[in-house]
Amino acid sequence: MNNNAKTLENALIGAWGISLIATLGSLYFSEILKFIPCDLCWFQRIFMYPQVVLLGLAAIRKEYGIARYSLALSIIGGAISLYHYALQKIPFFQTHAISCGRVPCTGQYINWLGFITIPFLALVAFFLISVLSIFIIRKEKEGKIS
């Protein structure tokens, strides 16, 4: 295996690791700390949880084409996270927020350092997976896989 193939494999494993940590983190918040997820949190989970399985299987089989699908899931999930974060932190969005189920989407179970909330953590995870997916797609297009 050449260095380029190893780099792609590491990027895929990294994306899988990020999705696993994000999934376990969200389960920790809801199942251990008993934070009830709002509707937007559930939508973010819908776009993160499958990536654990998809990226994990792709890493085992060295199927780099999964990056296209992972990128799509991450862009949609990231957009939801960004909107959710805006609902929490920007007064305009808070006053014009639509109803978000029995748990308000403007609520902040955590607020570490004054800006790190659960949607922010999800946004970071989606962003990192997107960056790694774009990297894999570009390297694959360049034909640098052996």
Domain boundaries, the chain: 3-145
Q: Could you give the dihedral angle defined by the CA atoms of residues 112, 117, 120 and 126, in that order, rounded to the nearest 10 degrees? A: 110
The pLDDT, as a whole number, for residue 44 is: 98
- Confidence label for 146 from pLDDT (cuts 50, 70 and 90): very low
Mean predicted confidence (pLDDT) in 102-116: 95
Q: Provide φ and ψ at 65, rounded to 5°.
A: -65, -20
DSSP notation for 111-141: -BTTTB-HHHHHHHHHHHHHHHHHHHHHHHH
Of the pLDDT bands very low, low, confident and very high (cuts 50, 70, 90), residue 145 is low
Three-class DSSP category at 53: helix
For 108, other C-beta atoms within 10 Å of its C-beta total 14
Phi and psi for 102 in degrees, rounded to 5?
Answer: -75, -20
Mean pLDDT across the chain, nearest whole number? 94
Domain 3-145 in CATH 1.20.1550: yes
Of 43-52, 64-73, 136-145, the one with minimum mean pLDDT is 136-145
